[in-house]
Structure 1
Amino acid sequence: MMAFENSGKRPAQDVVVSAMESKKRKVEFSDKITMHTGDDDHDDANISTEMYKRFVKSALDELEKNSNTQVGLIASQVALPRKSEDHVSLANLDVLLDVLSDNISRIETSRASPLIQSIVHLEKWWELPSQTLGKYIFFIRVLCSSIPKWWQDVSMVLISGFHLPLEMTVSHHDMLRYFLKMIPSSMGFIDIYMPKFFPSNNDSCKNLVNYVANLLKFTSYCKELQFQAWSLIIERVISLDVELQNELDELDDDIEDEDLDLADDEEAGDDEEDDEEAVDVETRDDDKEDDVGEDGEIEGEEEYNVQATQNIKDFSKKLDAILTMVTECLREKVTPESLKSGEGVSVFNTITTLFKTHVLPTYFTRSVQYIMFHISQHQIELMDSFLVTLIDISFSPTETAETRIKSLQYLGSFIARAKKLSRTQIIFVASYLASWLNRYVLEREEEVDQPGGMDRFKHFYGAFQALCYIFCFRHTLFRDADGNWECELDKFFQRMVISKFNPLKYCNENVMLMFARISQHEDLAYCFSIIENNNNQRLRGIIGRGDKEQKGSVYSSAASTWSLATRQQFIDLQSYFPYDPLILERSKEIMKEFYIEWSEVSGEYESDGLED
């Protein structure tokens, strides 16, 4: 005890070091003579703990005298890697956290910042033993409640930990839940850090999946930031989806280029003599050798293709894993019970809004739209809501023509593919489209003969194609009990195909051909003579005899003013079917009970054309 009585004669840290050295000598001696008992060890531990407690209090006393030497020593020790021999022991960490929690006002100074930083950023704090972890969490709560400025650092640590699996982030979420409840303003930094720490698309699949899983858990107790969290998830799924599609497109382009090169080589080879062919073969062999690097790896185009294929596999794996997790999470959030309580409605409205603001405006995604496809089919009222949303966008005067056509593509594709839709819902949408198209023809058909390109009527073609696409998949539902066509579709289609708009010419060729086959077989309308006439017109245009020479024809020469760029853009848009089959294995399996394959309804009709 003399050491404590004389502690004022030398620095406290010297006391600790001296005590530690003394203890080491004692342990070494006891190992040799083996005379120490368990009680002695317990006493030693108590003495060491008491000495460290006095040392910490001494450091706080010194801090109030404008000196932070001892605090700096403690901070340095806490900040060391856990594997370091000099890292603070668990017993001393318990003491430190207890003392600081009881003296929080004494560290409300910039001189104590290094110590607080070292504790807040303690390496793998979530792996501490339960007792120490409890003390750590209590200190963080006291710290942020008493000195709110530290919440910025703490919230950053908590959110950055979302790359960990859920079983390791229990304490992260406990603390977040506590602060959001006790200090509502604490969400101010969370919404900044969520996107900041979201792993990049090139990060590991594990980190991406963990981060999304933690965001989904976060939405379960933080309703105020639910929209921001879901928005972030949807944005990143879209980003992955687009990157995957870009990789697939580039690979397709490379394959097409290789096929063309191969065709050129074969054509040139037909004109070569035998001896020249021999030389050419030798040259190609030399080229192949040049393509192999010193380490034996393939170089050039082949290496690029290998990398492209690997990227496709990586992006597919990540996208599939996240999409699977998201759809399974949403399934639990739109149960009849949750819809009745209002919680499910809130989640569905969030996803619907994000569909309108993020998914719909993005061109040619292949997977992210299945989130809405899946969640809406869990309850009939949700399908109603989604259909109304698509109809509203499709015919809104404030939307652009491209957005309206895109929405019509979604509407047609959803009605065609969604297995849970009722016959009533399908007939309703078909009736709505037919009524709109009838009015359009009555009001605007005379405009076809007026100056201007046929792109003026893109909206009409989008709606007609959507209805034809629906008919191809659902034609067996469009007869009533007496065998008559619902909505008088027979009269409707016969009127449409001979209108001056000539939709069989300007809509997607595959859809129109399949519609022609089915409508002929079902005795609905006969389209092949018009299609043949359209083909003849195209042929005459290629050889220099345009539509203008066909005086008296019901088909307008205005089409000749439709620029190639505008027509190609329209063709690309008309060729997009949002709910074409998924290429992601796990997600595709989940969608089976909600999805209609063309092969299920094609019957005796050809299976190609409407399915990838």
Structure 2
Amino acid sequence: MMAFENTTKRSSQDVMNSVDSKKRKVEFAKDVTLYPISNNDGEENTVKSTEEINGFSSAIYARFVKSALDDLDKNDTTQINVIADQLSLGEKSSDKIKPENLNILLDTLSSNINRIDSSKGTVLIQSLISLNKWWQLPSFTLSKYIYFIRVLCSSIPKWWQDVSMNLISNFPSLSLDDAHYHHDLLHYFLRMIPSSMNFIDSYLVKFFPNKNDTRKSLVNYIGNILHLTKYCKELRFQVWSLIVEKIISIDVELQNELDEMDDDIESDFEDEEDEDDDEDEERKDKDASLMDEDDDGEEEEEEMEGVEEYNVEVTQNIKELANKLDAILTLVSNNISTEVTPESIENGDGVSIFNTLTTLFKTHILPTYYTRSIQYVMFHLSQQQLELMDSFLVTLIDISFAPNETAEKKIKSLQYLGSYIARAKKLSRTQIIFVASYLTSWLNRYAIEREEEVDQPGGMERFKHFYAAFQALCYIFCFRRNLFKDLDGNWECELDKFFQRMIISKFNPLKYCNENVMLMFARITQHEDIAYCFSIIENNNNERLRGIVGKADSGQKNGANNVAASTSVWSLATRQQFIDLQSYFPFDPLFLKTYKEMMKDYYIEWSEASGELESDHESDE
């Protein structure tokens, strides 16, 4: 048991001496017995009501608490239970315990903690632990309450489990400022009882608000548990895991909702997200108009109105999800900006946060298909320092070309690599050229080693890793072409010769890479006088129109020797999966209003890179 000094503690005699001297003085013997009060029928009434107890003077209340403890020593819990009931009363109850009486109770219990250490005292302890809004008590009483909790959990450590659970359960309803005393207690006891991290970890999971909970609850909770990692770094990975999982859940649901929307509704929604705040009322009117003339009651419009009402409901749900995601991601990245600084990177703490999120990127974010926003956490974090960008690029390159990774994961990583290089504003020219050099070297080796396989039986899906790498390089070139010329006007990595060679290779990448990217690539290479792709693209389109796949199937069945034609055969499922993967650009423009504004200094819009070639909206579709 640890000893604590309570400088505010007063004896019962001191309290008595403070009674107004003008009032009639009542002297008590040293041993006072509170006898039962008889009612009018002569029957003993051994239980005082909370109203009676609340009306006691401080001196009498102190005697009452002492009497309750004496009775508890004799296994009589009657008076203890009355106190416990009073503590459990609601905020608005007139019988709620007065602060001055609560002061006496806390002082007395802090000095007699072992006397309530029994099953008989449990109800009183639990009432104090769960005291309604204890953090709003008057400061003098609050200090006594916190002192009592410290004495209780230090003397009887088993109660820390209940106390910590109660503290964390309050996080959804409290802002970080309001939860100041919660964190003080958590900080104190996590240092004193390090083993308690095990059950606190489970409470963090248990009380994490559902994704359908309010935005305020989610933001409060995430803000509080992020603050917890400042004084308990041992729980950092668990906390970030929970946050990333929750964000992914909302992000995926939001993306699914958007995918299911009619194109015109989605367009209206994204347009609204880009409007200024002073147009809020106009947006509301626009939403209301979707209701059509619902109040007219015309029967012939009933079916159509039902559909429109559904669209309004879906749009509202999407807005709620988007607002939650926007607020959470803004909070998370603001936290990162505060925690990951040059100083914290120097002392290693910032690197620890980066490594934690890099691990979660590899295990949670990268394998999840078509998240739209969560990846911007790493996008933002990595750009806090040149060395962090180096590390993130190496991570993506390692995954993209790891022999033991699945083809789908390699392709996904290449999509991240290309999109990151294209969009990350803080990248240096050296970093960009390094990645381009790595990709051109790998593609050259691949072509030398495997181009002859194109003429052999088998579908072109065999080379999807090649196409993903080529597409990533083309995407980078479209955004960063101005950086690839040296001072003499020569192309770095000999990109002019490289592209000329690749587009006429048997792999025919202009046919199997994303159509929008290849069209933009064709326009830019023609503008830069590097290569002429449109004739090849036109020929590829004509082949599709002629049904080359059907002819190839027929040729194979008839035993024809047209092996080259057979290479164009793709199974429908495989081709669709590849097209889906190739059409994913992780760092396409954000539509979350606040978060997008926050990323402004880190993000390259297509309008900044394209010049007069094409608008960002048209390119990124």
TM-score, scaled relative to structure 2: 0.85
1:595 equivalent to 2:603? Answer yes
- 1:415-441 CA-to-partner distances (Å, cap 9, x unmatched) read 001111111000000000010111111
Q: Distance in 2 between matches of 1:22 and 1:521?
A: 90
1:288 CA drift (Å): 3.9
1:542 CA drift (Å): 7.0
* Alignment-derived partner of residue 250 in structure 1: 260
Q: Distance in 2 between matches of 1:207 and 1:104?
A: 35
* Alignment-derived partner of residue 451 in structure 1: 457
Residue 506 to residue 572, structure 1, CA distance change in 2 (3 Å): same
Q: Distance in 1 between matches of 2:243 and 2:466?
A: 35
CA contact (8 A) 2:522 2:532 kept: yes
Residue 4 to residue 55, structure 1, CA distance change in 2 (3 Å): farther
Report sequence identity in percent: 68
| Corresponding residue SS for 1:523 | coil
CA contact (8 A) 1:437 1:464 kept: yes
1:114 equivalent to 2:120? Answer no
1:526 equivalent to 2:535? Answer no
Q: Distance in 2 between matches of 1:153 and 1:467?
A: 56
- 1:490-522 CA-to-partner distances (Å, cap 9, x unmatched) read 121122112221111111000011111111221
1:82 equivalent to 2:82? Answer no
- 1:259-304 CA-to-partner distances (Å, cap 9, x unmatched) read xxxxxxxxxxxxxxxxxxxxxxxxxx9654434xxxxxx8521111
Question: Residues 252-271 of structure 1 correspond to what in structure 2 (within 5 A)?
Answer: 252=262
- 1:316-375 CA-to-partner distances (Å, cap 9, x unmatched) read 111111111111111122211111111111111111111111111111111111111111
| Corresponding residue SS for 1:424 | helix
Q: Distance in 2 between matches of 1:21 and 1:192?
A: 42
1:126 CA drift (Å): 0.7
1:403 equivalent to 2:412? Answer no
Letter in 1 for 2:594: R
Residue 113 to residue 569, structure 1, CA distance change in 2 (3 Å): same
* Alignment-derived partner of residue 581 in structure 1: 589
1:523 CA drift (Å): 1.7
Question: Residues 67-106 of structure 1 correspond to what in structure 2 (within 5 A)?
Answer: 67-106=76-115
* Alignment-derived partner of residue 187 in structure 1: 197
| Corresponding residue SS for 1:610 | helix
Residue 88 to residue 601, structure 1, CA distance change in 2 (3 Å): same
CA contact (8 A) 1:540 1:546 kept: no
Q: Distance in 2 between matches of 1:390 and 1:4?
A: 81
| Corresponding residue SS for 1:200 | coil
| Corresponding residue SS for 1:604 | coil
* Alignment-derived partner of residue 332 in structure 1: 338
Q: Distance in 1 between matches of 2:92 and 2:549?
A: 81
Residue 56 to residue 437, structure 1, CA distance change in 2 (3 Å): same
CA contact (8 A) 1:390 1:411 kept: yes
1:135 to 144, 148, 151: 144
1:502 equivalent to 2:508? Answer yes
2:62 to 50, 53, 58: 53
Q: Distance in 2 between matches of 1:462 and 1:492?
A: 16
Q: Distance in 2 between matches of 1:288 and 1:100?
A: 74
Letter in 1 for 2:78: T
Q: Distance in 2 between matches of 1:430 and 1:228?
A: 36
| Corresponding residue SS for 1:245 | helix
| Corresponding residue SS for 1:405 | helix
Name structure 1 gaps, 5 residues minimum: 25-46, 257-284, 292-297
CA contact (8 A) 1:408 1:463 kept: yes
**Structure with a larger share of its residues in helix:** 1
2:159 to 135, 150, 161: 150
* Alignment-derived partner of residue 264 in structure 1: none
| Corresponding residue SS for 2:547 | helix
CA contact (8 A) 2:552 2:565 kept: no
CA RMSD of aligned residues (A): 2.7
* Alignment-derived partner of residue 10 in structure 1: 35
1:570 equivalent to 2:570? Answer no
Q: Distance in 1 between matches of 2:34 and 2:157?
A: 38
Letter in 2 for 1:574: Q
* Alignment-derived partner of residue 279 in structure 2: none
1:468 CA drift (Å): 0.4
1:153 CA drift (Å): 1.2
CA contact (8 A) 2:54 2:98 kept: no
1:6 CA drift (Å): 8.3
Letter in 1 for 2:578: F
Question: Residues 445-524 of structure 1 correspond to what in structure 2 (within 5 A)?
Answer: 445-524=451-530
| Corresponding residue SS for 1:112 | helix
Residue 531 to residue 229, structure 1, CA distance change in 2 (3 Å): same
Q: Distance in 2 between matches of 1:110 and 1:564?
A: 69
1:376 equivalent to 2:382? Answer yes
Q: Distance in 2 between matches of 1:527 and 1:395?
A: 28
1:458 CA drift (Å): 1.3
- 1:383-407 CA-to-partner distances (Å, cap 9, x unmatched) read 1111011001111112111111001
| Corresponding residue SS for 1:416 | helix
CA contact (8 A) 1:380 1:421 kept: yes
* Alignment-derived partner of residue 205 in structure 1: 215
* Alignment-derived partner of residue 426 in structure 1: 432
CA contact (8 A) 2:358 2:378 kept: yes
